[in-house]
């Protein structure tokens, strides 16, 4: 299954930075428990979507942060 890229560079960088912050909060013990696990999972999703430049949540709203 092939998806068209719908994420621009700025969007990808922001997601990576947020994922690093989430990982830091989790692994430093600042955020623990269920909230910590949720943040960690979101961080992984942010990294994966950044690597492939595709966000499935953008599809129903026809959003694209990628330049023409």
Task: Decide if 1 is inside a domain.
Answer: no
Task: Decide if 67 is inside a domain.
Answer: no
Other Cβ atoms less than 10 A from the Cβ of 33: the count is 7
User: Rounded to whole angstroms, how far apart are CA atoms 61 and 6?
Assistant: 12
Q: Is the pLDDT of residue 56 over 80?
A: yes
Other Cβ atoms less than 10 A from the Cβ of 44: the count is 13
pLDDT in tens, 24-54: 999 999 999 999 999 999 999 999 999 999 9
Task: Find the domain containing 35 and state its range.
Answer: 9-58
User: Rounded to whole angstroms, how far apart are CA atoms 19 and 48?
Assistant: 10
Number of domains in the chain: 1
Task: Decide if 23 is inside a domain.
Answer: yes
Q: Which value, to the nearest 10 degrees, does the dihedral of the CA atoms of residues 49, 31, 24, 44 take? A: -20
Provide the whole-model pTM. Answer: 0.87
């Amino acid at each position: 299954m092939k998806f068209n890229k719908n994420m621009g560079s700025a969007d990808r960088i922001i997601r990576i930075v947020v994922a690093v912050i989430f990982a830091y909060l989790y692994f430093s013990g600042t955020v623990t428990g269920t909230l910590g696990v949720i943040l960690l999972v979101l961080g992984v999703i942010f990294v994966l979507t950044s690597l492939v430049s595709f966000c499935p949540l953008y599809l129903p709203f026809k959003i694209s942060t990628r330049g023409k």
